């Protein structure tokens, strides 16, 4: 993850990865047949951790609104260094998804799963309220939320100094709730 985040996929050579992990190039290829396999493993790892973060927050959320907020917080309320590296790695992965078919498939699978999750969360929220949004509108809102989250990762990594401090989660919640 560190090599991919700091060097990018192409420049994260097996030698560099091996060094960062205090292993030898030969051993890397003993466990992963190709370099792409390492990236795939990383994608799944990051996704699992993100899901775990959401599940942890879900446990204390009792209302639909609270559950939606839990999702947003799990996605955007990051803080420490490990998170920063993970976000940088995720942006790298997103860029690789353009070019590598297998990476794209897995990436799209994760996007689809998150879209489904968001659709469910939003549907619950609208039911609790007046329920003025129809299914296509909810799906559009879910898609937009996902885009915003991905865009926040992107801007946090490449232009973090220009963004307001810790604005992301709070602002997205306000935006979505005023729209529901």
Binding-site ranges for DNA (CB under 7 A) = 10-16, 23-31, 33-36
- The correct pick among 111, 117, 119, 124 for binding a second copy (CB under 8 A) is 111
For 130, phi then psi, to 5°, come to: -65, -30
Label residue 22 left, alpha or beta by phi (over 0 means left) and psi (-120 to 50 means alpha).
Answer: left
Report the partner that residue 107 touches, choosing among a second copy, DNA, none (CB closer than 5 to 8 A by kind).
a second copy
By CB under 8 A, the residues from 118 to 157 that bind a second copy are 136, 139-141, 143-144, 146-152, 154-155, 157
Q: How far is the CB of 24 from a second copy (least distance, A)?
A: 14
**Which of the choices DNA, a second copy, none does residue 108 contact, using the CB cut-off of 5 to 8 A by kind?**
a second copy
> What is the rounded distance in angstroms from the CA atom of residue 142 to the CA atom of residue 139?
5
Residue whose CB is less far from a second copy, 58 or 102 = 102
Name the segment binding a second copy (CB under 8 A); options: 40-48, 53-61, 62-70, 161-169.
Answer: 161-169
Q: How far apart are CA 47 and CA 44, in angstroms?
A: 5
Stretch that binds a second copy, among 2-10, 21-29, 49-57, 62-70 (CB under 8 A): 2-10
**Residue number with CB closer to DNA (99 or 165):** 99
- Least separation in angstroms between CB 116 and a second copy: 10
Distance CA 69, CA 127 (A): 16
Give least dist CB 92 to a second copy, A: 7
Which among DNA, a second copy, none contacts residue 80 (Cβ within 5 to 8 A by kind)? none
Site for a second copy in 52-91 (CB under 8 A): 88, 91
């Amino acid at each position: 993850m560190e090599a991919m985040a700091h060097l990018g996929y192409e420049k994260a050579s097996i030698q560099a990865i091996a060094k960062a992990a205090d292993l030898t190039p030969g051993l890397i290829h003993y466990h992963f047949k190709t370099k792409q396999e390492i990236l795939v493993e990383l994608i799944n790892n990051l996704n699992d951790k993100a899901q775990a973060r959401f599940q942890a927050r879900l446990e204390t959320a009792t209302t639909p609104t609270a559950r939606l907020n839990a999702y947003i917080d799990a996605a955007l309320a990051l803080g420490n260094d490990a998170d920063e590296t993970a976000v940088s790695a995720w942006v790298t992965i997103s860029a690789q998804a353009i070019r590598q078919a297998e990476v794209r498939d897995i990436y799209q699978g994760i996007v689809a799963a998150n879209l489904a999750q968001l659709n469910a969360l939003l549907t619950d929220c609208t039911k609790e309220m007046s329920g003025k949004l129809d299914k296509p509108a909810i799906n559009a809102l879910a898609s937009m939320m996902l885009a915003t989250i991905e865009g926040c990762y992107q801007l946090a990594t490449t232009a973090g100094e220009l963004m307001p401090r810790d604005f992301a989660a709070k602002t997205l919640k306000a935006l979505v709730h005023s729209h529901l």
